[in-house]
C-alpha cells in the first residue's frame, strides 16, 4: 500500500500499548506513558516544550526524533442545520474532509481514513476522486483532536463535543487497518478521548479479511455498507462484492458480533437509490437475507452530487422500505440528510485528491491483497 509515512515518531498516532513500548525502549518508567498521552489528548499539547513534567532528557529526545502532527485545517463550512465540514491537508498534500453532525445531546464526527478510495462504489463521490494515499493513525486521531478543540466552547455544558465517531468519511478503513486500529484504540482509551466502544464505529464496504483481523484487535462497533440484497446487484454497486460476496461478508460479521457480547449488533447501511435498489421486491429480499442476523438497519436516501447518474428515492418508497422492515421485526432508521447545503451529507465527501493514478485495476488488486496479508 502507498503510505505517506512520517520520518519521526508520530506521537498522536501511538496507542497506549505502542506508547508504552516506545518509552520503555528508551528506558522510561511506565508512568511516562500516562503523562505523555494526557499532554497529547487531554491537554492538547501542540509542542513538545509544553510537556513540562516529563524529563529534560525525554523532551530532548522527542525534539529530535518525534513530532506532534495533526492535519492542517484549510477551510471550515457551517451548514444551516449546524453541521460542520472541515477540509484538512494530509501529509501527502491532498485534502480530506471531516464532518461534525450535532443532534441534541449527541455529536457525531465522521472521520476519513484514506485520501480518496480505491473501491469505486458506483454511487460514491469519494470513489470518483480515485485513490491517493493512506492517512496515518495520527492524522485519523488528529481529525478528532481538531474537532474537539474547535467545538469545546460551544458544547461546554457536556464532557465532550464529540460523543460518537464513525469512520465513514473518505476511504475504506479496513484497507488501512494498520493505522485505523491504533487510532480507534486511542479514541476509546481513557488516556485518549474515552469514547465508549459502542460509540466508535468502523464502517466497511466488505473487506472480509479486515473484519476477521478486527476481531483479534478491537471491540469497536462495526457497520457494513450493504446497499443491495443480492450479489448480482451488489456486484454492480459495490464492486468489492465480486471478491467477497454477501454470504462470506455476513459470515465474517456474525463472527465479529460474537466478540461484541449481548445487546450489541452490527449496523447495516443501505443507501436507497431511485429505481435501483428501493423497490418493494428489494425490501422483501433484504428482510429474507437478514432474517436472524443480529443487526439494526440504517436507510440512507441518496444525496445527489454533480455528475452522478443516480437519483434520490421518492419519500413514498423510503417510507415503504422502512415500514416493511420494521414490520418484519428489524430496528430500522431512516438517516436524515444533514449538511447537504455544504456538500457534507453522506456520500458527498470529495476532498481534494491529487495524483489519482493509483486507481488502476492493478493497484486495486495490490491494495486488496495487502489487506489479506
Ligand atoms: S462508499 Fe466508502 S468504500 Fe465505497 S468508494 Fe466510497 S469511500 Fe470507498
Q: Within 10 Å of residue 352's Cβ, how many Cβ atoms?
A: 17
205 lines ligand 1 (CB under 6 A): yes
Residues 124 and 13 in one domain: no
- Output the pLDDT for position 362: 45
Residues 40 and 124 in one domain: no
**Is 113 in contact with 173 (CB distance < 8 Å)?**
yes
Q: 329: helix, coil or strand?
A: coil
Instruction: Give me the count of residues in the chain.
Output: 373
The residue with cell 463535543 is 161
Instruction: State the DSSP code for 227.
Output: -
Domain end: 19, 51, 67, which one?
67
269 lines ligand 1 (CB under 6 A): no
Residues 148 and 253 in one domain: yes
Question: H helices within 26-176, ranges in order?
Answer: 31-37, 56-65, 125-128, 137-151
| Atom from ligand 1 closest to the CA of residue 203 | 2
Q: Within 10 Å of residue 156's Cβ, how many Cβ atoms?
A: 9
Distance 177 CA to ligand 1 centre (A): 15
Q: How far apart are CA 234 and CA 13, in angstroms?
A: 35
Which protein residue has the closest C-alpha to ligand 1 atom 4?
A: 121
Q: How far apart are CA 173 and CA 168, in angstroms?
A: 8
- Which residues pair with residue 115 across a beta bridge? 133
Backbone phi, psi, residue 273, to 5°: -110, 130
Tens digit of each residue's pLDDT (9 = 90 or more) over 8-18: 999 999 999 99
120 lines ligand 1 (CB under 6 A): yes
Instruction: Spell out the residues 6+ positions from residue 149 whose beta carbon is closer than 8 angstroms to its own.
Output: 44
Which protein residue has the closest C-alpha to ligand 1 atom 3?
A: 172
- Output the pLDDT for position 358: 46
CATH of the domain at 277: 3.20.20.70
| Atom from ligand 1 closest to the CA of residue 119 | 5
119 lines ligand 1 (CB under 6 A): yes
Distance 172 CA to ligand 1 centre (A): 6
99 lines ligand 1 (CB under 6 A): no
The residue with cell 428489524 is 330
In the chain, how many domains are there? 2
Domain range holding 45? 9-67
- Output the pLDDT for position 326: 98
Residues 29 and 101 in one domain: no
Backbone phi, psi, residue 248, to 5°: -65, -40
Domain end: 51, 67, 83, which one?
67
CATH of the domain at 61: 1.10.150.530
- Output the pLDDT for position 169: 92
- Output the pLDDT for position 370: 46
Reply yes or no on whether 346 is catalytic.
yes
Reply yes or no on whether 281 is catalytic.
no
Tens-binned pLDDT, residue by residue, of the chain (373 aa): 445 667 899 999 999 999 999 999 999 999 999 999 999 999 999 999 999 999 999 999 999 999 999 999 999 999 999 999 999 999 989 999 999 999 999 999 999 999 989 998 999 887 777 888 999 999 999 999 999 999 988 888 777 899 999 999 999 999 999 999 999 999 999 999 999 999 999 999 999 999 999 999 999 999 999 999 999 999 999 999 999 999 999 999 999 999 888 788 999 999 999 999 999 999 999 999 999 999 999 999 998 888 889 999 999 999 999 999 999 999 999 988 777 777 776 666 666 666 554 444 444 454 555 444 4
Question: H helices within the chain, ranges in order?
Answer: 16-25, 31-37, 56-65, 125-128, 137-151, 177-188, 208-217, 231-237, 246-260, 280-289, 315-327, 361-372
Residues 229 and 144 in one domain: yes
**Is 235 in contact with 242 (CB distance < 8 Å)?**
yes
Amino acid at each position: 500500500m502507498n503510505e505517506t509515512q512520517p520520518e519521526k515518531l508520530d506521537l498522536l498516532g501511538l496507542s497506549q500499548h505502542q506508547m508504552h513500548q516506545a518509552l520503555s525502549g528508551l528506558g522510561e518508567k511506565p508512568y511516562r506513558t500516562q503523562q505523555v498521552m494526557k499532554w497529547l489528548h487531554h491537554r492538547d499539547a501542540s509542542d513538545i516544550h509544553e510537556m513540562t513534567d516529563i524529563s529534560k532528557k525525554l523532551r530532548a529526545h522527542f525534539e529530535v526524533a518525534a513530532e506532534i502532527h495533526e492535519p492542517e485545517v484549510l477551510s471550515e463550512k457551517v451548514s444551516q442545520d449546524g453541521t460542520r465540514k472541515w477540509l484538512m491537508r494530509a501529509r501527502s498534500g491532498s485534502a480530506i474532509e471531516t464532518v461534525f453532525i450535532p443532534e441534541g445531546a449527541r455529536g457525531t464526527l465522521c472521520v476519513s481514513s484514506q485520501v480518496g478510495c480505491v473501491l469505486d462504489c458506483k454511487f460514491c463521490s469519494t470513489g470518483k476522486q480515485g485513490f491517493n494515499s493512506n492517512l496515518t493513525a495520527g492524522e485519523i486521531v488528529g481529525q478528532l483532536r481538531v474537532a474537539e478543540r474547535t467545538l469545546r466552547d460551544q458544547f461546554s455544558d457536556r464532557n465532550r463535543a464529540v460523543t460518537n465517531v464513525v469512520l465513514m468519511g473518505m476511504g475504506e478503513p479496513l484497507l488501512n487497518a494498520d493505522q485505523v486500529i491504533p487510532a480507534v484504540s486511542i479514541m476509546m482509551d481513557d488516556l485518549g478521548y474515552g469514547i465508549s466502544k459502542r460509540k466508535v464505529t468502523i464502517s466497511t464496504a466488505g473487506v472480509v479479511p479486515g473484519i476477521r483481523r478486527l476481531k483479534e484487535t478491537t471491540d469497536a462497533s462495526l457497520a457494513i455498507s450493504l446497499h443491495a440484497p443480492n450479489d448480482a446487484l451488489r456486484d454492480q454497486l459495490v464492486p468489492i462484492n465480486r471478491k467477497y460476496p454477501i454470504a462470506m461478508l455476513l459470515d465474517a460479521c456474525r463472527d465479529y458480533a460474537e466478540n461484541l457480547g449481548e445487546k450489541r449488533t452490527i449496523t447495516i447501511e443501505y443507501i436507497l437509490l431511485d429505481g435501483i435498489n428501493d423497490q418493494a421486491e428489494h425490501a422483501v429480499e433484504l428482510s429474507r437475507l437478514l432474517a436472524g442476523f443480529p443487526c439494526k438497519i440504517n436507510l440512507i436516501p441518496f444525496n445527489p452530487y454533480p455528475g452522478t447518474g443516480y437519483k434520490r428515492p421518492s419519500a413514498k418508497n423510503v417510507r415503504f422500505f422502512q415500514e416493511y422492515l420494521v414490520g418484519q421485526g428489524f430496528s430500522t432508521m431512516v438517516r436524515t440528510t444533514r449538511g447537504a447545503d455544504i456538500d457534507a451529507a453522506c456520500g458527498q465527501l470529495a476532498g481534494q485528491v491529487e495524483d489519482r493514478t493509483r486507481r488502476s485495476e492493478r493497484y486495486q488488486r495490490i491494495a486488496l491483497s495487502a489487506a489479506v496479508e
